[in-house]
Amino acid sequence: MPPPIEFELRRRTLLAGTAAVAAASVARLAHAQEQAGSAASAQQQSDIALTVNGTEHRITVDNRTTLLDVLREDLHLTGTKKGCDHGQCGACTCSVNGERINSCLSLAVLHDGDDVTTIEGRGAPGQLDPMQAAFVSHDAFQCGYCTPGQIQSAHAVIGEIRAGIPSHVTSDLTAVIELTEAEIRERMSGNICRCGAYSNILAAITEVAEDQA
């Protein structure tokens, strides 16, 4: 089909270019099929089992795929966000075997057999978990893009303090760590919110922590 819209093309038409690419891509696919099952191809992919929000998934992943992209692109659990893909923003925070991680910094193949909780596993509208509900009532977000990561970290931060794991602002390493505003802020600082909802996030976390105490 000729393109109904004419680009003014300098070197070759986009259509011609496309056709050439399509032909090349068929050839490449055929080549890839020949290789299927060979050692080289097997090394590029791995079969893994992941339990996500209580459901087990058996999937074949490209060895380069991050846990974040498996969640978002393969399992369509897009609640876990990609803000930077470099471990610099916290938007991709989720819980793996009970600990928070930046899922963009971790390859999926490293998680064979792991148990992952994403934001979708915390609660849905109508049955929000207490932290999600507190984020709504304290208006602890604006655009909402950092929010799933903030909520995942918020759960983890309360747990880490209760487990006696010290932070940069813990002054006495031998005493029981108090759940102070300074401790919460410090431990939440890997989760950036460009909308600047930090004080409301702090209020939400503090309320949940007090209710649980």
Among 46, 130, 198, 206, binds another protein (CB under 8 A): 198
Select the residue interacting with another protein from 57, 202, 206, 207 (CB under 8 A): 202
From the CB of 88, what's the least distance to another protein, in Å? 4
Q: In the complex with another protein, which residue's Cβ is closer, 178 or 194?
A: 194
Count of other CB atoms within 10 angstroms of residue 99: 9
Q: Which stretch binds another protein (CB under 8 A): 81-89, 95-103, 109-117, 158-166?
A: 81-89
Output the six-digit token pair for 26: 């068929």
25 makes contact with another protein (CB under 8 A): yes
Matching residue, tokens 């602002």: 169
| Residues 34-63 within binding reach of another protein (CB under 8 A) | 62
Cβ closest to ligand FES, residue 140 vs residue 177: 140
Residue with smaller CB distance to another protein, 2 or 174: 2
Which element (helix H / strand E) includes 153? helix 147-162
Q: Write the interaction track for another protein spanning residues 118-147; mark x where CB under 8 A is met and - where it is not.
A: xxx-xxxxx-x---xx-xxx-x-xxxxxxx
Among 30, 32, 49, 110, binds another protein (CB under 8 A): 32
Stretch that binds another protein, among 85-93, 109-117, 158-166, 172-180 (CB under 8 A): 85-93
Residues 152-191 that bind another protein (CB under 8 A): 184-186, 188-191
Task: Give, as one character, the DSSP assignment of residue 36.
Answer: T
Residue closer to ligand FES by CB (options 62, 85) is: 85
From ligand FES, another protein, none, interface partner of 92 (C-beta below 5 to 8 A by class): ligand FES
Is residue 74 exposed (0-12), middle (13-18) or buried (19+ Cβ within 10 Å)? middle
Q: Are 204 and 137 in contact (CB under 8 A)?
A: yes
Quickly list H helices, 11-146.
14-35, 39-44, 67-69, 130-137
CB burial readout 39-70, b (16+ within 10 A) else e: eeeeeeebebebebeeeeeeeebeeebbbbbb
Alpha-carbon gap, residue 196 to 191, rounded angstroms: 11
